[in-house]
Chains A and B, each alone.
Chain A
C-alpha cells in the first residue's frame, strides 16, 4: 500500500490543518484560548456560585480552552500529559518526560507534525486494562481507526467519549449538557443530554434499548455532581482514541466538580465483560469562558468527504 496521500489532497489537508486553530479562534470571538503555552490545568479563580438549593451552580460555557477534544494540547491534557515550559509529566504515573525548550526545536513539516500528533495523543500511561483475549482487538481497532472508528461518518461520539460538555444548564430538576459538533480527531454532530436530578432510579437495564448516550441520572455527593449512566449500545468507543470498545453492559460514572471558574470532570468506566478492572480517565479541567456574553456558535455541518481519499493507515 502506498504510504502517501494523493499529492494535491495532502497539500490541501495540510493547509487546512494549519488553518484550523485560526478558524476556531476567530469563531470563538476571543474567548476560548487556542494559543497554549502549556497543557497544565488552569488555576481556579473567583468564587463558586451556588444555587438557591445550596449546590454549586455548574451553569456556564465551559470552553475557555476551546472544545476539550479539539487541538493537540487539549488532547494531551485529556490523556494526562502535562507539558510545561521546560518540564513534562505523566499525571497518572508521575513520571517526568524529557523536554527540550521551544527555542531550540527543530522545524517539522506538516506531514511530520501529523505523525508527531499521533504519537503525542497516545503517549499517556493511563490505559484501560482489558482482558487479555481483547488486547489484540484494541490494538487492531486503533491501528485501523481510519476505517474502524465508530465516530466516523458523523456518528455520535457517545458517553463518555464526548468528555466535558461545552455548555451546562442547571435547573432544580435537570441538567442540560451540550456538546457542539466538530471536525478534527472526533468529528461528530452536535449532541445533547438531558439528565434528571430529581432522585429517580434507573430503568431496568433489560428494558432499555442501548443508545450512544445511554440513560443518565444525576445526584449530588457533597459539592460534586455524579452522573450515573447505563443502557448503551456496543457501537461507540469510550475514550477519545485508542480503539477502546465496550459491551452493552458498560456502566459510566461521571463526576463534575466546580471550583471558581474551573470544572473538573472524570469518568469511570465499569465493564466486567471486557475489562479486568474499572478504568478512570485522568481528570480533565475545563475553563469557564471568560466572556460573559459568549454563546455557542452553530457547528459546521458534519459531512464525511475525506474517507474515499485516504490511502494509508496514518491517523489524521
Chain B
C-alpha cells in the first residue's frame, strides 16, 4: 500500500489519457510472439474436433474467470489457469437414507474448502432435521469430511489429528473416490479435468447446447464426465457414469445455475449460486451459495499420520 509518493492528484480526464497511452505502450501486440498450443495447432483435417475442443474449453474457462492473462503490467505472457484454492459457503438441504423409499431431508449449513494443487477438499456440514429436538427432531449433526490425493478422513474439528490433544482424525479410505469426485465435478474441476484429458476430450452439440465429454484420471479413470454448457459457456449440468462395478456409486447428476461473482473480495471468478445434485438417481444436495472466496486463500490439507498408516495397511 505505501510509498505511492508518485501518487498525485491528477484530473480524471488526464488520468484516462495516461491510462490509454500506457496501455497502448505496454500491452503486447497480439499475435506476434506466442506459439499456438498443441491443441490449437491443428491442421485442416483435424480442425473440426481439436480446434473446437480448444475453443470450447477456452470459452468455458473464461466464462468462469479461470483463464486470466498472466502478463499484468504489460508483459508478453500467456493466459493461465489461476484457480488453486477456494472456499464456498452455502445453505439448503441435503438428503440421506430414510426409513422408507423416501430419502430423509436435512436442513444444512454447507462449507467447502478445496484446492486443486494438490487435489483436496474439506466439506463441513451442520445438518438438522425439521423440528427442534424438544419437538422430536434430532440434535444437529456436525461432520467434517476431508480428502487429499489418495487419503480420506473425518475430522472431529478442523485440522484434527495434527497436533497432540487437538481432535481426532478418523480414516475413511472407502470414501476417497466419492469425495474426489465432488471436487472434480465442480465447474472448475470440470474444466481442469477436461483440459488434462487432452485428446480424449470431445465436444458435441445436444439439443442446441454444447456438451463436453471426457474421462477423469487416476483412481477415477473409469469415470466418464459429460458437461453441458449454457448460452454463457458456464457449466450448467454435469453427469458422471462408470461401467466399472466398483465405481457404481459414481453415477451423479449435478445442475449449476445463477452464476455470479459471490466473493466478498471481488475476483471476477464466477460460481454457481445454486447447486442441485443427485447420486444414483436420488437427491443428495440442494444448496444455495451464500459466498465464495476464490482469491486462492490459505487452505491446507496435511494428512494426519494415523491416516497415512491406515492407508499403508
Q: Which residues of A contact B (CB under 8 A)?
A: 3, 7-8, 11-23, 34-39, 71-73, 76, 81, 83, 85-86, 88, 90, 93, 95, 97-108, 110, 112-120, 122-125, 127, 129-133, 135, 138-139, 142-143, 146, 149, 151-154, 181-184, 187-188, 242-243, 276, 300-307, 310, 312-316
* B192 contacts the other chain (CB 8 A): yes
Q: Are B18 and A15 in contact (CB under 8 A)?
A: yes
Of B2, B6, B15, B298, the residue contacting A151 (CB under 8 A) is: B2
Interface flag for B231 (CB, 8 Å): no
Within the assembled complex, what's the spacing in Å between the Cα atoms of A76 and B22?
A: 22
Specify which chain B residues have a CB less than 8 angstroms from the CB of A133 in the assembled complex.
159, 163, 166
Determine the residue in chain B with the shortest Cβ distance to A149.
B1
Q: How many residues of B are in contact with the other chain, CB < 8 A?
A: 77
Our pick among A22, A72, A118 for the contact of B22 (Cβ within 8 Å) is A22
Provide the residues of chain A in CB contact with B3, threshold 8 Å: 154, 181-184, 187-188, 300-304
Of the residues A86, A103, A149, contact of B31 by C-beta under 8 Å: A103
A302→B36 CA distance, assembly (Å): 43
A37 and B37 alpha carbons, distance in the complex (Å)? 16
Specify which chain A residues have a CB less than 8 angstroms from the CB of B79 in the assembled complex: 99-102, 104-106
Q: Measuring CB to CB, which residues of chain B are less than 8 angstroms from any residue of chain A?
A: 1-7, 9-10, 12, 15-16, 18-19, 22-23, 25-28, 30-37, 40, 58, 61-62, 67-84, 117-118, 157-160, 162-163, 166, 191-192, 195, 264-269, 293-300, 302
Docked-complex contact A103 and B30, CB < 8 angstroms: yes
12 pairs from A and B in contact (CB 8 Å cutoff) = A35-B76, A36-B71, A37-B33, A100-B79, A103-B31, A104-B30, A125-B117, A133-B159, A183-B4, A300-B3, A304-B2, A306-B1
Query: Which chain B positions have C-beta within 8 A of A107?
Result: 27
Q: How far is the CB of B282 from chain A (nearest CB, A)?
A: 34
Assembly CA distance A149 to B30 (angstroms): 37
In whole Å, how far is A152's beta carbon from the nearest beta carbon of chain B? 5
A37 vs chain B, min Cβ distance (A): 5
Q: Once bound together, how far apart are the Cα atoms of A304 and B297, in whole Å?
A: 26
By the criterion CB–CB under 8 Å, are A116 and B58 in contact? no
> Known contacts being A100-B58, A304-B1, is A72 close to B70, with CB within 8 Å?
yes
* Residues A21 and B1 in contact, CB atoms below 8 Å apart: no
Instruction: Indicate if the CB atoms of B16 and A15 lie closer than 8 Å.
Output: yes
> In the complex, A213 Cα to B4 Cα: how many Å?
24
Q: Which residue of A lies closest to B195 (CB)?
A: A98
Contact check: which of A3, A120, A143, A314 meets B72 at CB < 8 Å? A120
CB atoms of B162 and A276 under 8 A apart: yes
Bound form: Cα–Cα A35–B75 in Å: 5
Closest to A106 in B: B62
